[in-house]
Amino acid sequence: MEKNPGYYTSGEYFGTAGNIFTLGSHVQWQEQGAGSKAHKGHMLAFGTDMLLEIPFEDVGVLDIDGEYKYFDASYSQLAFNDADNFGMFDGDAFSITALWLIDQEVGIGKFQPYLRYTGVYPSHSADRDEFEAGLNYVVDGFNARVSLMYQYGDLVTKGLNYAPTATGDEAHTIKLGVQIQI
């Protein structure tokens, strides 16, 4: 069990909390919560997420983080032609990440290679996905780290456009990130 005041607020513990296996889920419903004024529809969403963290003494820490979401936004596709359309996502989406925090310190931190896959499958639009491979240099958990990542897919190029005509190219991206919290 996580020791946070709320469910799943950390995402990982870098081996400091022992063995963890946590599941969470949610359900949300809103009458006329999607579409446009002229083409309204209800919105139903549910999902689940999972965190598995296993520290291996003097070797490293394995983290597996997964999430699945389902959205049913029942409104006419004619709403995409309306200026006031709230084009709520309709379909399935999931993401899975595997991380390995290497136990040996190098300088002031530890290396953490990872792999991630994200898939977004709209009911009335083109599918989109992204593969990511990265390396974190963890100095102080979430308070200080540097990340280098490679991403490939059309998740970003298709973006949040869930219209039936959405298009986007496969793209290769290399990013460098720095996270500092005080």
Q: Is residue 97 part of a domain?
A: yes
Q: Is residue 2 part of a domain?
A: no
Q: Is residue 6 part of a domain?
A: no
Between CA 5 and CA 82 the distance in angstroms is 43
In Å, what is the CA distance from 18 to each residue of 11, 95, 101, 141?
14, 24, 14, 15
Q: What is the pLDDT of residues 1-17, one digit of tens each?
A: 556 655 555 678 888 88
Q: Is residue 62 part of a domain?
A: yes
What total number of domains does the chain contain?
Answer: 1
The model's pTM = 0.85
Q: Is residue 14 part of a domain?
A: no
* Domain membership of residue 105 as a residue range: 20-180
Q: What is the pLDDT of residues 138-147, one digit of tens each?
A: 999 888 999 9
61 touches 100 (CB < 8 A): yes
Tokens of 40: 């309204």
Q: In the chain, count H helices and then E strands.
A: 1, 8
Q: Is residue 4 part of a domain?
A: no
Residue 29 has a pLDDT of 87
Task: Indicate if the pLDDT at residue 59 is higher than 80.
Answer: yes
Q: Is residue 57 part of a domain?
A: yes
Given 3-state DSSP classes, what are the helix, strand and coil percentages for the chain, each rounded to the nearest 5?
5, 60, 35
